[in-house]
Amino acid sequence: MKNNLILLTGNAHPELAKKIAKKIGAPLGELAVFKFADDEIFCKININIRKRDVFIIQPTCRPVSDNIMELLIIIDACKRASTRSITAVVPYYGYSRTDKKDQPRVAITAKLVADLLTVAGASRMIAMDLHAEAIQGFFNIPVDALYVMPIFIKYIKEKIGTDNLVIVSPDAGGAARVRAYAKNLGPEVEIAVVDKRRIGNTGRTEVYNVVGDVKGKKSILIDDIIDTAGSITKAAEVLMERGASEVRAMAAHPVLSDPAMERLEQSPLKEVLVTDTIPIAASQKIKKIKVLSVSDLLAEAIRRIYYGESVSSLFA
């Protein structure tokens, strides 16, 4: 790697940043990011980054507001240090589920965060499995939207097999996602959709139908986020009731808010595949959960962007 490439990270996920740096063969740049006694965040970059291409690795996961603010402050520090370019590498984009005005008098926070990143000085963003593809259009800078699908596809082919397999969406909104998985896995792989209805504004869901044949089949539920795990575990229960031989779940982002762990433990899910876009606490590493790393994919994307190569060809 040329000396002009600089990798930085805040406090959100230093383990992932270290993996990416190792894959690229470039050290993480030294910087100090900490809070004063009144919770104000301070950042100082301890290396020369003038006219360098800086990549800041910082998922905006829990604590979301702190991690977003850290990212904004690091970007501002880089801009004021006269960098040539600043790429925000955001494996998990917080507030992505608030992407439209679906109720009266609500904010579109995903757009607000996009504006903040742009105004702070980011010249490009890399994200993974955005909750809504429309979020790319919220930015006035280039956005490289990556997908964990190649990682999960490889696992399915090597560890599970495609015989008697059905890929399932836990809701109607994810139908396009499961079609893409089935297309990449082969013509023998079928798809199904769990139809559900939300009950008022309580956040609870009622699963009531399965569109597609799952009887006697290995079923894999595909989603982008597992938060409280209510939808994914209820969908697994319905699939088993409809005769599925086994059910797994795969999701890019393991948010895992309470009571997710309890629900996953008690569910009929055989295995839960997630990635390390978000750090997982030791207490959350239960036997059912297997974590696959996105570090190779992100490292290759960063390398291609730095050298001006195609990123979209990663998924060709």
Active site residues: 196
C-alpha–C-alpha distance, residues 221 and 66, integer Å: 32
Instruction: Please report where in the chains the tokens 């044949």 appear, as a residue.
Output: 213
Q: Are strands 5-9 and 53-57 parallel, antiparallel or unpaired?
A: parallel
Contacts of 238 (CB under 8 A, 6+ apart): 194, 207, 210
C-alpha–C-alpha distance, residues 139 and 99, integer Å: 13
33-to-66, 70, 117, 224, 268 alpha-carbon distances in Å: 11, 8, 18, 30, 42
Strand partners, 125: 88, 143
Packing angle, helices 295-307 and 14-24, rounded to 10: 60
For residue 280, how many other CB atoms are within 10 A of its CB? 16
293-to-16, 44, 251 alpha-carbon distances in Å: 8, 29, 12
Packing angle, helices 64-80 and 109-120, rounded to 10: 20
